[in-house]
Amino acid sequence: MADSAFDVLIVGAGPAGLLAAESLAVQGVSVAVIEKDRVPGKDKPCGGFLTHMGALQGKIPQNLAERQTFGISISMPGLPIHHVDYPNPVGIQITREALGRHLCQRASAAGAKILLQHQAIGCKRSDIKWRVTLKGNSKELHASLLIGADGVNSLVARETGLRTRFLSDQLGVTIQAQVTLPEDEITKRFGSRMELYYGREICPYGYLWIFPKRERVYVGVGSLLSVVTDRLQRYLTNFIEAHPRGKEQLAGGNIQLMERALVPLTYERQSVADGVLLVGDAAGHCSAITGEGIHYAIFAGIIAGAVAGNAIRKGDVSARFLRRYETQWNKAFGSDLKWGLRLRNFFFQGMASQNVSSGMASNQRFLQLAADLIVGIRPYRSTIIRAIPHYLWQRVKSSFSRS
């Protein structure tokens, strides 16, 4: 087979794209990954918390973990910080750079061709074959099946007509700083917990996170793009320099601000068409509440690789056949995306009153449920169902306090 012709082309070398490539190569399918960066994930502002289930599913080795996470601290406005600890690790702290290098090596070792520092600028389908054009290169790549793993502004999604760009109220925006500190000092200050902060003064319509690594602490904020834009860095700087706990926990650290990133906060119900699949951020596989996407990207990439390999072997890359991918990812995590979106709309549209919200935030059982959801040990639907009695009780209390 010529160097320009493959069974499958994958645009984007995030976790979803690389895991799909590895799966396809293991099946004996010829596959190439096109990635514009030199090191996938190196410059993406990502907190880098990977759930225990995600690490197991993606077969991520423990030597990639900069720190194991056994708990979470949650700070709500006007309340003492609440700590939730677990007897076993609920996840690991990694860097996207290390994860990208590891998954690149795995995919390459399996037989996938990894084209780093190559940017796809166009894709067209003719005679049931895809033609992908590369920037600064007259050569085209060809394939029967195309997988869009190219992030929130997916070229593949737009060029294939699966969707246009996300609207501003469908996107989150994040900015993150790395704070370097000695490893023993990080252990002393944070132990094995990560920290989350909520409240309008922290960041309206969003939250702030602190994810301790080995010799670095990742501190970031995220919110709705349609609400907070140029003020986002101000919220982050204010927390680091002026917030009582922020100043204490990060004192003496060397601060380096990183770039911003966009996060999809709604998912694409249609992620396939004739000869094409969308995975990861390109398909909106991201929590509308937390903005977490690595967990879902791992599942989506593995499922996409299995379905795409089967499609190539059977010689059927029709949308009808590829809908098996949609069925399987919906079964694996579609409920989380759907209920997470509903929960986000519930809070952001002001359906919960200030009194009810404050009451819920001070409820120990509710905070335990929230922690279980964030660390990935409880699904969204189950969390919401269990939280309903607490919410109704707070509404009753709120109504009596006003009467």
pLDDT of residue 343: 81
Q: Which amino acid is at 332?
A: A
pLDDT of residue 167: 86
The model's confidence at residue 391, banded by pLDDT at 50, 70 and 90, is low
The model's confidence at residue 142, banded by pLDDT at 50, 70 and 90, is very high
Mean pLDDT of the chain: 90
Q: For residues 375-387, give the mean pLDDT.
A: 86
pLDDT of residue 237: 93
pLDDT of residue 360: 54
Q: How far is CA 38 from CA 13, 41, 108, in A?
A: 10, 9, 15
Indicate if the pLDDT at residue 128 is higher than 90: no
Q: For residues 94-121, give the mean pLDDT.
A: 96
Query: Domains (ranges, CATH) in the chain?
Result: 5-44+96-165+267-333 (3.50.50.60), 72-85+168-264 (3.30.9.10), 352-402 (no CATH)
Hey, CA dihedral for 328, 332, 335, 337, is it positive or negative? negative
The model's confidence at residue 380, banded by pLDDT at 50, 70 and 90, is confident
Strand ranges, E, within 95-157: 113-116, 120-126, 129-134, 137-148
**pLDDT tens digits, one per residue of 350-371:** 544 444 455 556 678 888 988 9
Indicate if the pLDDT at residue 273 is higher than 50: yes
Q: Which of 29-33, 44-48, 115-119, 159-163 has the lowest mean pLDDT?
A: 44-48
**pLDDT tens digits, one per residue of 229-266:** 678 999 999 999 999 999 999 999 999 877 789 999 98
| Helical H segments across 227-334, by residue range | 232-242, 244-250, 294-314, 319-329
Residue with tokens 């996207």: 96
